[in-house]
Amino acid sequence: MNWRSKMETTIHLSSIFLKMMGTLAMQKESLEGNKKIFSYNDLASNLVDWKKDDETSFLKTAPSQTLQQTLTNLDRALKDAFDKKQPNKEFPVFKKRGLGDSFKYPQGFKFRDNQIFLPKIGWVSYFNSREIEGTPKNVTVSRKGKHWFVSIQTEKEVSISRHPSGKAVGIDLGVSKFATLSDGTVIEPLNSFKETEGKLAKAQKDLARKVKFSNNWNKQIRKVQNLHIKIADTRKDFLHKKSNSITNENQVVVLEDLKVSNMSKSAKGTTESPGKNVNAKSGLNASLNILAAGHAVLACGNIKPVAA
């Protein structure tokens, strides 16, 4: 089981957000020199020396287990990248601060009331969305915009219950209509981007006028980021409610094998073979991209506003 709760404090652990970029650079350098990549044990043994080095002594401020967990994640990502059974896995890339900021505690955490104890940080208050069920196995702390969240993974034995409904339904996904069910139900789309399009365009224009990396620039970039988060959260809320309603009412759900990548290919074609219905296809692409982009985008800069 896994659920996330909102934390009411601000945590400053820049060393954890380093994500061991130095270790990834070492791995890339080793591969470019036709040498064997370093194993987890090789890298973990260097942690002690890195903490003693003046240039990387800041690593001492971070819990050792979170750094070790980051090395474990890197080791797994490298193995997956070279696993022929997982052709879609790619070589890991350097992480950018502000995108996917998170760190994981495999142990050492404790709970009391609406507080959680995190090693090297202490007791932190959080908004407990539900009671913890089962045995806590690990805790992941992540940042989303100006807020921090704690995700608690637990282990619990549950009985598999039979779905009370015997109905089956097919779903046809679309653009002008979000989805049409085989029983005739039509689900209208929720264009959360359109509702904040004007605010987002203005906010990004204001951002462009700021001096990069200045205090005002940092304040404005957080405003832009919060707008993106609002768009993504609104879309996720819509998707979760609709999917929950469908699965509660039907035992079997059938979806078409939709090739979105083919649908969103450019219609312009080439000079020798120009495409047809370019304007219509352009509108289709915009709708598809708007529906899909915010589901994964949580930071500024990845969704471009429509010019005002």
**Domain identity same for 65 and 209:** no
Q: Could you give the count of Cα atoms lying within 13 Å of 27 in the half-sphere of its Cβ?
A: 23
DSSP 58: G
Question: Do residues 263 and 220 both lie within one domain?
Answer: yes
Residue 5 · residue 126 · CB < 8 Å: yes
Cβ neighbour number for residue 208 with a 10 Å cutoff: 10
**How far apart, in whole angstroms, are the C-alpha atoms of residue 5 and residue 152?**
8
Residues 208 and 138 in one domain: no
The encoded tokens of residue 42 equal: 């090789």
**224 and 113 together in one domain:** no
**One domain for residues 134 and 185:** no
Reported as a single tens digit per residue, the pLDDT across 224-281 is 989 998 888 888 899 899 999 999 999 898 887 766 555 555 555 555 555 555 555 5
- 72 and 150 inside one domain: yes
Q: Which of 130, 155, 180 is the last residue of a domain?
A: 155
Cα separation, 106 vs 7, in Å, equals 19
What's the length of the chain? 308
Note whether residue 303 is domain-resident.
no
Residue scoring higher pLDDT (194 or 245): 245
Last residue of a domain, one of 128, 155, 182: 155
* The pLDDT value given to residue 272: 55
181 with 77, same domain?
A: no
Domain count, the chain: 2
Model confidence, pTM? 0.71
Asked if residue 144 belongs to a domain, the reply is yes
pLDDT in tens, 104-135: 999 999 999 889 999 988 999 998 888 889 99
The answer as to whether 280 is a domain residue is yes
Using pLDDT thresholds of 50, 70 and 90, give the confidence band for residue 157.
Answer: very high
Taking 80 as the threshold, does the pLDDT of residue 285 lie above it? no
Shared-domain flag, residues 130 and 36 = yes
Whether 192 and 140 map to the same domain: the answer is: no
Residue 223 sits in the same domain as residue 288:
yes
Tokens 């990396």 correspond to what residue? Answer: 213
Estimate the share of the chain in helix, then strand, then coil, as percent rounded to the nearest 5. 40, 20, 40
* Percent of the chain clearing pLDDT 70 (strictly above): 75
304: in domain: no
Tell me, yes or no, whether 308 lies in a domain: no
Q: Residue 38 domain-assigned?
A: yes
**Measured distance CA(237)–CA(245) in Å, rounded:** 12
Domain check: are 173 and 119 in the same one?
A: no
62-95: per-residue pLDDT in tens? 888 888 888 898 899 989 998 888 888 888 888 7
Is residue 19 in some structural domain?
Answer: yes
In a domain, 307, yes or no: no
Print the domain residue range for 208.
168-296
Indicate the residue among 98, 128, 155 that finishes a domain. 155
Whether 284 contacts 263, CB under 8 Å:
yes
One domain, residues 184 and 273: yes
| Range list of β-strands (E), the chain | 2-7, 102-105, 110-112, 115-118, 122-127, 135-144, 147-155, 168-173, 179-181, 186-187, 252-255
Split at pLDDT 50, 70, 90, the class of 301 is very low
CB burial of residue 228 (10 Å; 0-12, 13-18, 19+): buried
Coil vs helix vs strand at 107: coil
CA angle, 176 then 179 then 184, to 5°? 110
